[in-house]
Amino acid sequence: MLLITMSFLMKVIAFVILFLMFVITTESAPESALITKLPGFIGIFPSKHYSGYVTIDKEHGKNLWYYFVESEMNPMKDPVVLWLNGGPGCSSMDGFVYEHGPFNFEPGKTNFSLPLLHLNPYSWSKVSNIIYLDSPVGVGFSYSKNESDYITGDMKTAVDSHAFLLKWFQMFPEFQSNPFYISGESYAGVYVPTLASEVVKGNKEGLKPALNLKGYLVGNGVADSMYDGNALVPFAHGMGLISDQLFENVTEVCNGNFYANDTPDCEEQLAKVSMDIDRLNIYNILEPCYHGTLLSAFDIKSLPSSLLQLGKTEKPLAESEIGRWALSTGKLSFHHDAGSMISFHQNLTLSGYRALIYRVQETQFLSTNRGRLWISIADF
Ligand SMILES: *[C@@H]1O[C@H](CO)[C@@H](O)[C@H](O)[C@H]1NC(C)=O
Ligand SMILES: *[C@@H]1O[C@H](CO)[C@@H](O)[C@H](O)[C@H]1NC(C)=O
Ligand SMILES: *[C@@H]1O[C@H](CO)[C@@H](O)[C@H](O)[C@H]1NC(C)=O
Ligand SMILES: *[C@@H]1O[C@H](CO)[C@@H](O)[C@H](O)[C@H]1NC(C)=O
């Protein structure tokens, strides 16, 4: 009798301990993912940083990599923002290093020394919790053991990033009730609305955890092949890069349609436009464009070497799986299979999600004008 009671009691205690362990391990961020130092940075991080892999498909060994920076203000209340660079194929460490991450990188004194990291006073982490995600697998530090996963497209990427989010918010449950935003730039103009739609669908289906999506941000984004493709000629003219005469000619022979217009006369005039803007920096016409042996924006040599060292620190990354880390990979066979983003934007905004579509005005072939038109067509 006593024995039975004892064993029952032991079971209860064991269960309680297990339960506590479960509660402890699921109630807060995984300590093993905590980052407390980076080469080149002296001092204490102004907020907690985490990094690691989330396995979204065990069978395939499909792993998405993230770097998470907690808000430096009030992490428990501030929004959680997912950041995605575009490509397709660009690592979101692009945004972390060059755009709005917690550090500014001061180049090393010699070619081989590490850069010095200083705190960035304009980091988005000043006011929000940011998840930098390398997506889809094959990009940045994200990888799959089954290389067939590198043949992918818009919809698969959205489904996978959604699977990542569900797991990530399980690992970091204390952030489940924070307002959640999805953001990105360039080709992420496709990633963001397609992922937001997956999240909305998942919430409707009652998937757990429910994601507290409030809205999304797209910077210099891709939206619609026709509107985007038609924007270049008027932009080049507006910026004085092509003559009035050429603009009039091209508009006339192409009948105002510069996208996928394969009449020979139109092609001939478009070739003249291309010649006039050849070798300009398409990201910013005011910036020099580096040619030949010099560095380009996507040249790995232009990156802080500490990033290339990441796989060699005490917490080795899966270097054997990913090969050498690249800012923008050519490994993917990527299909733009989601079509125009206009109806995604319409549906999301009509459902009450907040949208911020922003563009760097006047300097980018990739952005100017293309937003203006479709935004007015979509009737926002
Ligand atoms: C650093 O790299 C540049 C460009 O590759 C090269 O011209 C220069 O000689 C290098 N300097 C040293 C000290 O190795
Ligand atoms: C990779 O995935 C594909 C598609 O699911 C499957 O047909 C193939 O057998 C897998 N390859 C390996 C090596 O597991
Ligand atoms: C515009 O078209 C006219 C007539 O075809 C041609 O003479 C002229 O050279 C063209 N101008 C430019 C800038 O292409
Ligand atoms: C938008 O909503 C309409 C009406 O419910 C639906 O037919 C359409 O498929 C939706 N589009 C997208 C991209 O979700």
CB atoms < 10 A from the CB of 34, how many?
14
The yes-or-no verdict on residue 126 having pLDDT over 50 is: yes
CB atoms < 10 A from the CB of 8, how many?
10
Nearest ligand to residue 253 Cα: 3
- Please state the pTM of the whole predicted model: 0.79
So what's the pLDDT on residue 38? 87
Q: Are 261 and 254 in contact (CB under 8 A)?
A: yes
Q: Are 254 and 266 in contact (CB under 8 A)?
A: yes
Mean of all residue pLDDT scores within the chain: 81
Q: Whole-angstrom Cα distance, residue 312 to residue 38? A: 12
Residue minimizing CA distance to atom 11 of ligand 2:
146
Ligand 4 residue neighbourhood (C-beta within 6 Å): 197, 343-344, 347
The yes-or-no verdict on residue 341 having pLDDT over 70 is: yes
Q: How far is the CA of 212 from the centre of ligand 4 (A)?
A: 21
Q: Are 377 and 342 in contact (CB under 8 A)?
A: yes
Domains of the chain: 31-224+304-377 (3.40.50.1820)
Q: pLDDT by residue (tens digit) across 199-208?
A: 999 999 999 9
What's the token pair of residue 300? 């790995």
Rg, Å, the chain Cα set:
24
pLDDT grade, residue 363 (50/70/90)? low
Q: Are 63 and 308 in contact (CB under 8 A)?
A: no
Q: Whole-angstrom Cα distance, residue 236 to residue 253? A: 17
So what's the pLDDT on residue 380? 52
Average pLDDT of the segment spanning 57-81: 96
What's the token pair of residue 93? 């460490």
**SS3 label, residue 247:** helix
So what's the pLDDT on residue 239? 83
Residue minimizing CA distance to atom 12 of ligand 1:
111
HEC per residue, 20-86 = HHHHHHHHCCCHHHEECCCCCCCCCCCCCEEEEEEEEECCCCEEEEEEEECCCCCCCCCCEEEEECC
Residue minimizing CA distance to atom 13 of ligand 3:
246
Which of 299, 277, 298 minimizes the C-alpha distance to 364?
A: 277
The yes-or-no verdict on residue 76 having pLDDT over 50 is: yes
Q: Which atom of ligand 1 is nearest to the CA of 112?
A: 14
Q: Are 49 and 68 in contact (CB under 8 A)?
A: yes
Which amino acid would we find at residue 264?
P
The yes-or-no verdict on residue 377 having pLDDT over 70 is: no
- Name the more confident of 194 and 366: 194
Q: Which atom of ligand 4 is nearest to the CA of 339?
A: 13
So what's the pLDDT on residue 307? 54
So what's the pLDDT on residue 284? 67
The yes-or-no verdict on residue 374 having pLDDT over 70 is: no
Residue minimizing CA distance to atom 11 of ligand 1:
111
Q: Are 306 and 40 in contact (CB under 8 A)?
A: yes
What's the token pair of residue 153? 């497209």
The yes-or-no verdict on residue 297 having pLDDT over 50 is: no
Q: How far is the CA of 302 from the centre of ligand 1 (A)?
A: 13
- Name the more confident of 256 and 180: 180
Peptide bond into 209 cis (omega under 30): yes
CB atoms < 10 A from the CB of 316, how many?
10
Ligand 1 residue neighbourhood (C-beta within 6 Å): 110-111
Average pLDDT of the segment spanning 84-108: 90
Q: Are 217 and 185 in contact (CB under 8 A)?
A: no
Helix (H) or strand (E) holding 154: helix 154-171
Which amino acid would we find at residue 251?
T
- Name the more confident of 289 and 225: 225
Average pLDDT of the segment spanning 101-127: 88
Q: pLDDT by residue (tens digit) across 233-287?
A: 888 888 888 899 999 999 999 988 888 888 999 999 999 988 888 777 666 666 6
Q: How far is the CA of 343 from the centre of ligand 4 (A)?
A: 7
Q: Which atom of ligand 3 is nearest to the CA of 249?
A: 1
pLDDT grade, residue 54 (50/70/90)? very high
